[in-house]
Structure 1
Amino acid sequence: MHLIMIVAAFFIACWTRCQWRLPQGSWSQRWQTALFLFLFPPLLIFMTAIALICMGPQGKMSGLYTGWFSYVLALSSLAFFGILCIKLAWGGWQSVKSTRNCPLVNLAGKQARLLDTGALFAGQIGFWQPELVLSQGLLQTLSAEQLETVIAHEQGHYHYRDTFWFFWLGWVRSCTAWLPNTEALWQELLILRELRADAHAASQVDPLLLAESLLLVVSSPPVSSEIFCAALGSSGVERLEQRIEALLAQPEPIPEVQLQSWNGFLLAFLPLVTVIFHT
């Protein structure tokens, strides 16, 4: 019976991911769709594995015997997911430690770490309390007005805690890279993250000046991983085009997250209900 649960969870997860289509609609619609299709299948698999661990290898379920195979499979999966989380957290911590070795500078009342490189880089590096990191090349290339727009964009990432939340989304991506459309949904979430930070910045600075700064910075390759780094220039050509178009068209306001938008995720917890039928 447990094996049937595993097969059903994998089938539903793959079928759900296959519903992904090219992004359409407003920022809010795109965000809710992408986040649900990205998170629901892994969450369903996680909850199924946890339910099997809770029921154990002994006993019956709906009159059918359970066994060790499904139990060991679930336990191995959760152990693998845990190891991946530790590995990513260690990489992120190493990046944070490296960042803290950079000198602190004060720019327009904002503290930032100064990266000794000629590359044009601006980003938030860290987890819940990330630090603003700017490169020496960026300070030498951008004007004071352009630098203000860059800092405003990075403040958007800080406001939404993007480095923290995208660390966990990056972990989910690593755990379920084999699911259909994982990379497409990941790229969609990344561009929506940048559009949100751009919109936050555009409410404080000139959007056209921000677009100009973006074009300058994006030519430089990213310095750090996007899992624990939210950087202004971490965009591909397609993402850059979307961001420039959004800025030129005046970014739409970002709505507050509504509680009902999370209701669909409750279905992923249904496997836990099966525990009461195990004897």
Structure 2
Amino acid sequence: MHFLMMMTGLSLAWLVRLRWADAPGLWAERWQRSLIVFLFSPLLLVITAIAILWMGPAGQMVLRWEGWLSYGLAIGFLIISSVLGLKLTWEGFCTLQTIRQNPVIDVNGSAARLLNLSTPYSARVGFWSPELVVSQGLIDTLDADHLEAVLVHEQAHATYHDTFWFFWLGWIRRATLWLPQTEALWQELLMLRELRADRIAAQQVDPLVLAESLLMVVSAPLVQADMQPEICAAFSWAISRDRLMERIDVLLAPEASNALNWWSFSWLLLACLPLVIIPFHAG
């Protein structure tokens, strides 16, 4: 029974991912759709593993070794996921400590860590309260208006604590890279994160200036390769030409504003169904 339960959960998790497709739509619709699909499969697998651990290896099994096999697989999955989370946390703190070795300067009234790089680059790096990081190249390349547009974009990341929430999403990504479309969903969520920051910034500065700033710092992904996307939200996030044009198009032709439908996230409760089986388990 336990092994069948595990295979059912794995099959459903796999099927949900296979049915996802990157479809056009308003920001809120895409965010809800992508986030739900990204979270559902890992949550289902974790809940299934916890349910199996709760029930233990004993019970009515078709094969004698079935209980211990499913029990061992559940423990292994949870341990590996925990180790990956600890590894990501350690890497994040190491990155943050490295960033904090750079001097603090005042940039248009904002405290920022200065990187001694000639490439234009800016980012928020950290967890709940991320550090603002700018390069000397950014300061030398952009004038006051374009620099202000970049800073407002980065402040939007800090306002929504994007680095904190994407740290947890990044943990899920690392633990479930073997699931279908994990990387595609991750890239979509990164893109939607940048679109939200662009939209917020465009309410405070000229969208055309912000679009020009983006084009002026497109070389920055060469720097970002050394940064973890889980704890780093960079203005010049490494994107394909199509993604870059999408950001610019949204800035120059803003979409209609629409609110998140929080009830849609109730679909995630279906991932908790394995817990319903626990009271009916016969040890």
TM-score range, shorter chain: over 0.9
Q: Indicate the RMSD between aligned Cα atoms, in angstroms.
A: 1.6
- Measured after TM superposition, the shift of residue 110 of structure 1 is 1.2
Corresponding letter in the other structure for 1:242: E
Runs of 4+ in 1 over 2 A off after TM superposition: 63-66, 250-255
Give distance in 2, aligned partners of 1:17 and 1:259. Answer: 21
Corresponding letter in the other structure for 2:129: Q
On the 8 A contact 2:44/2:271 being kept in 1, the answer is: yes
On the 8 A contact 1:207/1:250 being kept in 2, the answer is: no
Instruction: Tell me what 2:281 maps to.
Output: 278
Alignment of 1:116-265 (within 5 A): 116-220=116-220, 221-223=222-224, 224-236=227-239, 237-253=241-257, 255=259, 257-265=260-268
Change (3 A) 1:242 1:222: farther
- Measured after TM superposition, the shift of residue 184 of structure 1 is 1.2
- Measured after TM superposition, the shift of residue 239 of structure 1 is 1.6
Corresponding letter in the other structure for 1:49: A
In structure 2, the gaps of 5 or more residues are none
- 2:273 aligns to what SS in structure 1? helix
- Measured after TM superposition, the shift of residue 253 of structure 1 is 3.4
- Measured after TM superposition, the shift of residue 171 of structure 1 is 1.1
- Measured after TM superposition, the shift of residue 60 of structure 1 is 3.8
- Measured after TM superposition, the shift of residue 250 of structure 1 is 2.4
Change (3 A) 1:27 1:40: same
Corresponding letter in the other structure for 1:227: E
On the 8 A contact 1:222/1:231 being kept in 2, the answer is: no
Alignment of 1:14-93 (within 5 A): 14-60=14-60, 67-93=67-93
On the 8 A contact 1:125/1:230 being kept in 2, the answer is: yes
Instruction: Tell me what 1:114 maps to.
Output: 114
Query: Could you tell me the percent identity over the aligned residues?
Result: 49
- 1:74 aligns to what SS in structure 2? helix
- 1:133 aligns to what SS in structure 2? strand
Change (3 A) 1:152 1:182: same
Change (3 A) 1:198 1:80: same
- Measured after TM superposition, the shift of residue 259 of structure 1 is 3.3
Give distance in 2, aligned partners of 1:28 and 1:258. Answer: 8
On the 8 A contact 1:6/1:48 being kept in 2, the answer is: yes
Normalising by structure 1, report the TM-score: 0.95
- Measured after TM superposition, the shift of residue 252 of structure 1 is 4.3
On the 8 A contact 2:163/2:231 being kept in 1, the answer is: yes
- Measured after TM superposition, the shift of residue 118 of structure 1 is 1.1
Instruction: Tell me what 2:104 maps to.
Output: 104
On the 8 A contact 1:199/1:254 being kept in 2, the answer is: no
Corresponding letter in the other structure for 1:42: P
Give distance in 2, aligned partners of 1:101 and 1:148. Answer: 24
Tell me which moved more, 90-99 or 66-75. Answer: 66-75
Give distance in 2, aligned partners of 1:99 and 1:177. Answer: 28
- Cα deviation, 1:223-267, whole Å, max 9, x if unaligned, reads 312111000011312221110010010254363x44312200000
- 1:187 aligns to what SS in structure 2? helix
On the 8 A contact 2:26/2:255 being kept in 1, the answer is: no
Corresponding letter in the other structure for 1:189: L
Give distance in 2, aligned partners of 1:154 and 1:45. Answer: 35
Change (3 A) 1:254 1:124: farther
- Measured after TM superposition, the shift of residue 195 of structure 1 is 0.3
